Amino acid sequence: MEQDTTFSQVHTIMTEYAERTGLAPVGKTPCRYLWTDAFGVCNFLEMYQKTGDEHYLNLALQLVDQVHRILGRHRADDLRQGWLSGLDEEAGAQHPTMGGLRIGKQLNEREPGAPVDEILEWDRDGQYYHYLTKWMHALNRVSRVTDDAIYHTWAIELAKAAHSGFVYLPSASSRKRMYWKMSIDLSRPLEPAMGHHDPLDGLISCYQLQERAAIPALTGEIAELKDICTGQNWATEDPLGIGGLLWNSCLVAQLIANGRSLLNSLLEDLLNSALVGLESYANTNSLDLPAEYRLAFREFGLSIGLRGLATMESLLEDEPKLFIHGERLRTQIENLLHYKPMIDSIEQFWLQPASRAGNTWRDHRDINEVMLATSLAPDGFLTL
C-alpha cells in the first residue's frame, strides 16, 4: 500500500512537471533546464522499470530529444544560431552534445568584456560542468535501459566536449584546473573558480562511461581528472554537496562490484568525507528551521544520497571479496546510517502543503518537485 502511495505521488509530480514545462503535451516554447531534466529522465526511467508502461519510457526519450534540440542549440534571443558545436543541421542532430549543453537560465550569458555582477550571474546562461555530468549520467542510464548505444555515444561526446572546454593549465603551473562556468559556446570562462566537487563528478562520470565503452575512449580525460582530484578535501556542510558525495559513493560501489577494484580507496575517501560533512551539518540543526530559511532541492540531494546507503550495504553483502577493507567500509556505512532518519524528516516536511506555500518552494518549483520525486523513488538515478 505504501509503495502504491509513493508511486502515485511520483506519477503526479512528474505528470505535472511534464505539462508545466511543455514536454507533454508539447508546448510552443518548452522550458528546459539541464539539471532538473537530468533527474527527470532518470525518474521517468524508474517509473517505466517499475511498471513496464512504455508511456514513461517515451517521456524519458522525448525529454532527451527536447533537451538536445533546445539546450544543444543557441538561444532564440542570440544572434548566433544553430547547434553549439557549429555543425550543420544534419550533423548536429546526429551529434547533439558535441558542443556541450546550455544550462537553460532565464537570461543570456554575460557579454565579453562586461563587468561581473555576481548576483545577476546566477540568472545568466552558459554551461556548468556539474550539470553536464548529470546529463552524462542520464544518457548512460537511458543507454542501459534501452540497450541503445547512441545514448552512450552522446554521453562520451559530451564528456569530451566538457573536458576540453572546462579543463585548463594555469600559467606558471604544472597542474591543470577546471573553470566553474563557461560561455555558451565554451570559448571563454564566465567564472574562473573551480567547483568543489566538479573534478570528482567528472572522474566518476568518465569511469561510468568507460565501463560500457567498446574502446577506452576516455583514458586521457580520466588521467587528467585523477590528477586534479589528488589531494583534494571533499568534505562539506552543504546538504546537496554531502548528497553528491553519497550518490557518487553509490555509483563507485557499483563500479567496484562490476570489477573496478582500484576504486576501493576512492570509495573509502568519499564515505569518510560524507560522514565528516554529515556530522557537521547535523550540528547546525538546519532541518528544524521553517521553510523560508531552507532550500528544498539542496535537502533532497542529501535524502537521495542517504537512500543510496542501502544499495552499498547490499553490494558489500553480495560481493564481499571485491571490496578491500570490507569491515572498515561496513563501519563507515553503519555510521552514516545513523543519519537515515533525515530522509523522512526532509521528505515529510516538504510534502506538507504549508511548507510548499512559500517563495523558497515556488521560486524553484520544477527542481524542487523533480528532486522530491527522485528522493521518493531513487533507483532510476542511483542504479547503474
Q: Is the peptide bond before 115 cis (omega within 30 degrees of 0)?
A: no
**Statement to judge: residues 272 and 302 lie in one domain:** yes
Q: Is residue 268 part of a domain?
A: yes
**Statement to judge: residues 324 and 376 lie in one domain:** yes
Return averaged pLDDT per consecutive 10 residues of the chain, 384 residues in all: 83 98 96 98 98 98 98 96 97 98 97 92 97 98 97 98 97 91 98 96 97 86 97 97 98 94 95 98 97 97 98 94 92 97 98 96 97 98 94
**Count of structural domains, the chain:** 3
Cell of 24: 507533454
Q: Residue 2's pLDDT is what? A: 63
Q: Is residue 159 part of a domain?
A: yes
User: What residue has cell string 577506452?
Assistant: 216
Cell of 305: 544520497
| Residues 6 or more apart whose Cβ sits within 8 Å of residue 79 | none
- 5: containing domain: 1-71
Cell of 232: 583534494
Q: What is the spatial distance between Cα 320 and Cα 298, in angstroms, rounded to a whole number?
A: 33
Q: What is the spatial distance between Cα 106 and Cα 190, in angstroms, rounded to a whole number?
A: 16
| Residues 6 or more apart whose Cβ sits within 8 Å of residue 241 | 196, 197, 277, 301
Last residue of a domain, one of 181, 216, 231: 231
Contact 304, 375 (CB under 8 A): yes
Q: Is residue 86 part of a domain?
A: no
Q: Residue 1's pLDDT is what? A: 46
Last residue of a domain, one of 56, 71, 86: 71
Q: Is residue 153 part of a domain?
A: yes
**Statement to judge: residues 163 and 128 lie in one domain:** yes
State the amino acid at position 175 in one-letter form.
Answer: R
Q: Residue 368's pLDDT is what? A: 98
- In this structure, the strands spanning 181-182 and 189-191 are antiparallel
Last residue of a domain, one of 31, 55, 71: 71
CA nearest to 133, candidates 109, 161, 114, 175: 161
Q: Residue 325's pLDDT is what? A: 87
**Statement to judge: residues 218 and 253 lie in one domain:** no
